[in-house]
Structure 1
Amino acid sequence: GVIGMTQLLLSTTLSKEQTEYAETVYSSAETLLHIINDILDFSKIEAGKLELESIEFRLRDLAEDTAEMFAQVAHAKRLEILAYVALDLPRVVVGDPTRLRQVITNLVGNALKFTAKGSVCIKITRANDVAAPGAGMIPIRVEVEDTGIGIAKEAQGRLFKSFTQLDGSYTRQYGGTGLGLAICKQLVEMMHGVLQVESEPGQGSNFQFVLALAPGRPETDTYPWAETMAALRGKRVVLAVRDPACRQLLAAILAELHVTAHTVENGEQALALCCEERQAGRSFDGVLAEAEMEGLDGWSLARELKQQEEGKIPVALMLTAVDQRESVGEWGTDLGEYLLPKPIKLERLIRVLAKMFGLAVGTDEESRQASISWGEGEDTLPPLTILVAEDNPVNQRLAVRMLEKKGHTVRVANNGKEAVAAFERESFDLILMDIQMPEMDGFAATGLIRSLEKNHGGHMPIIALTAHAIQGYKEQCLAAGMDDYCVKPIQAKNLFQTMAEVLQKQRG
């Protein structure tokens, strides 16, 4: 309950000093949770009790969601974070998304920890220099690259050993157990890859590995924005981005969309380039610029171009949540439809480019599919009546407050038996079901509810609440008839996103 209650506390009106204290409690609790989970995972790997899944998942969603998860941490340090997944890869692959996400998350967390200036980039590409490992398998390279402090050659051999850090000063300055990379190494090896590092002191680091993954079923490989992507072909834009690594990756993304990017690193250069084009009797189709740049920032660049080019060159501004809060009130009325949140996601980029160029934004099917991923979960849910089956009083209070703050009506059951009785007695839109409860656990309660539905019809959406430390519950939850699951400690964003996805599937 510590993490959840601290989240609720941070959502209330606090003084600056109180906010700092609460954020420190939250950060410390998160750190402790990660340490505990690392130790438990390491123990399972050592005991040979960790099994891998083999299911379909989307590489792009995994990479972009990971970047978005770390966005607040990165942007608070004035760092850029970006995920790039090559378009020549299958949209859906088969493997263990949970463990792949765990490795990437650990590598990104480390990269952010040891980077004070610049960027952290996730790159997933086809490993063309590696022979295909078998019929139908695709060698896929996963990289996490940073501009951090770097690692000396002689120290790199110790990186992947258990409970080892480079020296005591790193532990004092950056924290951690030294277990994370050891777990990553073993997980990658379980997936038949090899985790490697390339680094020099002061030059940043690149951690990478190659996995052989099978493509998903053919029907999953159709990209929902194909028509809009085709309409972007041949467009020319100015791309103004400060960080060299992000500038290069964004240019590569645009190139894959067949959009030519003329790259610059600040607003003055972008303005000069547009002026040169005008004098030559030509014009760019648009400008993509960061809102925050030294000298002529993105907002001022947009204003200058509006005057000089008579509004002929549309401008899209890439901005963080902090930039948006600070600046949109001043400038956003004229440019609201061309604001592009960081970290950049491909579908958001395509949508904004299409609007800039005056193109139709997808077919009905494209828009329908995109709307699922565009929703922010908690903000797209209508008021619901929700049954929370949970025996722990602290967790009960946490769930009730979290849900009620978003306008939902909540009923509480102390165990599975009470949950089944409440289901028979009242009408609910959704059930949040804890797994481990006295008298009747969540599995048994869900089984009874599904049996009752066979007699009376209907399907009640049920989301399991389970501890992250107990792996293998996902399959058990789905087999028991649950629709999805959320790991404890419950994070508000994850919970509401899961609720939105489950209800979206229910609506079909």
Structure 2
Amino acid sequence: MKIDVNYQSLFRSLEDTFSESREKLLSQIVFNTPECVKLIDRTGTLLDMNDAGLALIEADDWDSVNGANVYSLMAPEHLEKFKSFNERVCAGKKESLEFEIIALKGTRRWMHTTAVPFVLPNGETVHLAITRDVTWAKRREQELCLAKAKAESANLAKGEFLANMSHEIRTPMTAILGFSEALATQVDTPEAKESCEIIRRNGENLLGILNDILDLSRIESGKLETEFIPFSISDVLCDIYNLMKVRSDAKELDLQLHLAEDLPSLVVSDPTRIRQIIVNLVGNAIKFTNIGSVKIYVSSSKLKSSEQGHSHQLKFLVVDTGTGITAEHKQKIYEPFEQADTSITRVFGGSGLGLTISHRLVGKLGGNLSFKSVIGRGTIFRFCLPVDVVSDGDLQNPVSLGHHSSEKKDNPEAANPLQGLRILLVEDGPDNLRLISFLLRKAGASVTSHVNGLEAVTCVLEAAEEFDVILMDMQMPVMDGYTATRHLREEGIETPIIALTAHAMRQDREKCLAAGCTEYLTKPINRKELLDTVQRIGMTAPDKL
């Protein structure tokens, strides 16, 4: 028997069956996926949503939200943003968005949605999106942001505290160190002179600890500044040697400085920080060495052109025959406030910050600080720094921190270096006012004093005779030094103004200069630095030239 088969009809029937099966399969996938899948038209009307989406918006079933407007679910602060997002998607753009909803039962949820334009059978383009609940991640992000803000606030508060502490300690230290030095020149007995020296030495130790704490705070907050300038490395090292020789001689140690013959004359780096690093390392070596020697070795080598962008490398070694460092303490030697042993603080003193600061400073200058140590035999600290070498012809303003003694010349004005200078001293602290006035008058100056900026401005504007120099404390009641200086400059007063401040950070110097000050001195005031600065600035006054 012959059977007629209409293959075209059969294929069409099979195609329809497969198409229906495919649509059912896709429909099942969409409605069973754990992510919210939804269709929204241009006006925000909800056209369809799977079960995961209904659970997300806290709907009991589809019928309860069929035809509802999703805009009613938006948190007020996110409504306009979502409307604009929906319009762009329905206009043919694929986009993503994070927003917050208030579900039907009041739960607030953060959503992340990715939407694409979808064309319905009737030709209308709508918004097809997959949305997931990111509330936990968002809250975690907010908690981290809050924690970061709190940490930054705490760090700022710490910085302000340290700045204020610095000011409050440095101000009385001026009187303590200054009067102990002045008193030492007025007493005759060895016991009295020794007492003055003990006061001075302990005051400087306290100041050193304060400076270490401030440096560590700057490093931790990322505010420690470096200045890369040309300077003589040999001058810096010789200066350090002369400084530390006093300490080594007091312990009868042999301090040696060995400079390689090929050491460059002038290099570019930060001389202040290099000096600080080596002083810390050599100071520690002397402190922990009772018998033997402390040796400093410095050499130089050329770098390959590709290495760190610098032409040379300086290698520093500080070698001592001291107590050494035990294996258990080597791991934490660079941690703040750590000593190799808790008993060390009692025996040797110190804050435990020197190595921490040196380690971080070496890193900031592009090097790495390492050490080797054997108990009972000594320790070697080693670090290398990349530098550039400049020739004398390339150097515009060479900087030298080394001060080598030269043949002294007789100077008839040495006893009274400020003879004939008229100075206005503005200082609210009675002890510092008395001390600085004493030092200036003893050096031959004529001193007029006031205790706040308002008095100083009035005095200068009404004075019959101009002053040669104004010494201005920057922290005073009634009117501070910054305001007083600005007022004087606005009135056309060109008299040199030297700022006196207990704030010792670079931005404080810049703040003083920006206010109109000519120079800047930090407390505690060093007598020689004070007199040298006043003489240098005062002798440039027009009537002194």
Task: Place the TM-score, normalised by the shorter chain, in its bin.
Answer: 0.5 to 0.7
Tell me how far 1:186 sits from its aligned partner. 1.6
Tell me how far 1:165 sits from its aligned partner. 0.8
Tell me how far 1:488 sits from its aligned partner. 1.5
Looking at structure 1, the residues matched to 386 and 367 of structure 2 have their Cα atoms a distance apart, in angstroms, of 8
- Which residue number in structure 1 is paired with residue 178 of structure 2? 4
- Which residue number in structure 1 is paired with residue 474 of structure 2? 435
Looking at structure 2, the residues matched to 61 and 120 of structure 1 have their Cα atoms a distance apart, in angstroms, of 19
TM-aligned CA distance change 1:403 to 1:198, over 3 Å: farther
TM-aligned CA distance change 1:484 to 1:156, over 3 Å: farther
- One-letter amino acid of the structure 2 residue matched with residue 482 of structure 1: C
Looking at structure 2, the residues matched to 80 and 379 of structure 1 have their Cα atoms a distance apart, in angstroms, of 36
**Offset from partner CA, 1:144-178 (integer Å, 9 cap, x none):** 44444443455433321122111133211101121
Looking at structure 2, the residues matched to 219 and 427 of structure 1 have their Cα atoms a distance apart, in angstroms, of 43
Counterpart pick for 2:300 among 118, 126, 138? 126
- One-letter amino acid of the structure 1 residue matched with residue 530 of structure 2: L
Counterpart pick for 2:423 among 383, 386, 405? 386
TM-aligned CA distance change 1:483 to 1:6, over 3 Å: same
- Which residue number in structure 2 is paired with residue 113 of structure 1? 287
Alignment of 1:62-101 (within 5 A): 62-79=236-253, 93-101=267-275
1:475 partnered with 2:510: yes
Looking at structure 1, the residues matched to 509 and 263 of structure 2 have their Cα atoms a distance apart, in angstroms, of 27
1:24 partnered with 2:59: no
Looking at structure 2, the residues matched to 505 and 80 of structure 1 have their Cα atoms a distance apart, in angstroms, of 45
Looking at structure 2, the residues matched to 157 and 416 of structure 1 have their Cα atoms a distance apart, in angstroms, of 53
Looking at structure 2, the residues matched to 6 and 121 of structure 1 have their Cα atoms a distance apart, in angstroms, of 34
- One-letter amino acid of the structure 1 residue matched with residue 430 of structure 2: P
Looking at structure 2, the residues matched to 4 and 152 of structure 1 have their Cα atoms a distance apart, in angstroms, of 42
1:402 partnered with 2:402: no
TM-aligned CA distance change 1:2 to 1:14, over 3 Å: same
Counterpart secondary structure, 1:403: helix
Counterpart pick for 1:487 among 522, 530, 538? 522
TM-aligned CA distance change 1:488 to 1:223, over 3 Å: closer
Whether contact under 8 Å (1:148, 1:205) holds in the other structure is: yes
Tell me how far 1:382 sits from its aligned partner. 4.4
**Offset from partner CA, 1:105-138 (integer Å, 9 cap, x none):** 3223323322335554555542447877444554
Alignment of 1:183-262 (within 5 A): 183-215=357-389, 221=395
- One-letter amino acid of the structure 2 residue matched with residue 51 of structure 1: E
Whether contact under 8 Å (1:132, 1:139) holds in the other structure is: no
Whether contact under 8 Å (2:427, 2:452) holds in the other structure is: yes
Looking at structure 1, the residues matched to 536 and 377 of structure 2 have their Cα atoms a distance apart, in angstroms, of 41
Tell me how far 1:484 sits from its aligned partner. 3.4
- Which residue number in structure 2 is paired with residue 466 of structure 1? 501
Looking at structure 2, the residues matched to 450 and 121 of structure 1 have their Cα atoms a distance apart, in angstroms, of 52
- Which residue number in structure 1 is paired with residue 483 of structure 2? 444
**TM superposition score normalised by structure 1:** 0.59
TM-aligned CA distance change 1:21 to 1:88, over 3 Å: same
- Which residue number in structure 1 is paired with residue 314 of structure 2? 140
Looking at structure 2, the residues matched to 156 and 505 of structure 1 have their Cα atoms a distance apart, in angstroms, of 55
Counterpart secondary structure, 2:433: helix
Whether contact under 8 Å (1:390, 1:396) holds in the other structure is: yes
Query: Which consecutive residues of structure 2, in runs of 5 or more, have no partner in the other structure?
Result: 1-174
**Offset from partner CA, 1:278-327 (integer Å, 9 cap, x none):** xxxxxxxxxxxxxxxxxxxxxxxxxxxxxxxxxxxxxxxxxxxxxxxxxx
**Offset from partner CA, 1:358-389 (integer Å, 9 cap, x none):** xxxxxxxxxxxx99xx99x9768342433322
TM-aligned CA distance change 1:475 to 1:163, over 3 Å: same
- One-letter amino acid of the structure 1 residue matched with residue 521 of structure 2: C
- One-letter amino acid of the structure 2 residue matched with residue 396 of structure 1: L
1:164 partnered with 2:338: yes
Alignment of 1:272-351 (within 5 A): 348=405
Whether contact under 8 Å (2:177, 2:200) holds in the other structure is: yes
Identity %: 39
Tell me how far 1:391 sits from its aligned partner. 1.6
Looking at structure 2, the residues matched to 71 and 98 of structure 1 have their Cα atoms a distance apart, in angstroms, of 19
Counterpart secondary structure, 2:207: helix
* Matched pairs, number: 363
Tell me how far 1:397 sits from its aligned partner. 1.6
Tell me how far 1:504 sits from its aligned partner. 8.1
Counterpart secondary structure, 2:368: coil
Looking at structure 1, the residues matched to 323 and 505 of structure 2 have their Cα atoms a distance apart, in angstroms, of 35
Looking at structure 2, the residues matched to 91 and 140 of structure 1 have their Cα atoms a distance apart, in angstroms, of 12
Query: Which consecutive residues of structure 1, in runs of 5 or more, have no partner in the other structure?
Result: 225-344, 353-369
Looking at structure 2, the residues matched to 6 and 222 of structure 1 have their Cα atoms a distance apart, in angstroms, of 41
- Which residue number in structure 2 is paired with residue 413 of structure 1? 450
- One-letter amino acid of the structure 1 residue matched with residue 287 of structure 2: K
Looking at structure 1, the residues matched to 304 and 379 of structure 2 have their Cα atoms a distance apart, in angstroms, of 22
Counterpart secondary structure, 1:388: strand
Task: Tell which structure's C-alpha radius of gyration is larger.
Answer: 2
Looking at structure 2, the residues matched to 56 and 440 of structure 1 have their Cα atoms a distance apart, in angstroms, of 40
TM-aligned CA distance change 1:102 to 1:501, over 3 Å: farther
Whether contact under 8 Å (2:320, 2:379) holds in the other structure is: yes
- Which residue number in structure 2 is paired with residue 50 of structure 1? 224
TM-aligned CA distance change 1:196 to 1:16, over 3 Å: same
Tell me how far 1:32 sits from its aligned partner. 2.5
Looking at structure 2, the residues matched to 7 and 346 of structure 1 have their Cα atoms a distance apart, in angstroms, of 22
**Offset from partner CA, 1:199-227 (integer Å, 9 cap, x none):** 43444433332223345696564899xxx
Tell me how far 1:500 sits from its aligned partner. 5.5
1:177 partnered with 2:322: no
Whether contact under 8 Å (2:305, 2:311) holds in the other structure is: no
- Which residue number in structure 1 is paired with residue 79 of structure 2? none
Whether contact under 8 Å (2:498, 2:518) holds in the other structure is: yes
Tell me how far 1:445 sits from its aligned partner. 3.4
Looking at structure 2, the residues matched to 210 and 438 of structure 1 have their Cα atoms a distance apart, in angstroms, of 49
TM-aligned CA distance change 1:427 to 1:22, over 3 Å: same
**Offset from partner CA, 1:243-285 (integer Å, 9 cap, x none):** xxxxxxxxxxxxxxxxxxxxxxxxxxxxxxxxxxxxxxxxxxx
Whether contact under 8 Å (1:91, 1:221) holds in the other structure is: no
TM-aligned CA distance change 1:6 to 1:346, over 3 Å: closer
- Which residue number in structure 1 is paired with residue 211 of structure 2? 37
TM-aligned CA distance change 1:490 to 1:347, over 3 Å: closer
Looking at structure 2, the residues matched to 81 and 379 of structure 1 have their Cα atoms a distance apart, in angstroms, of 35
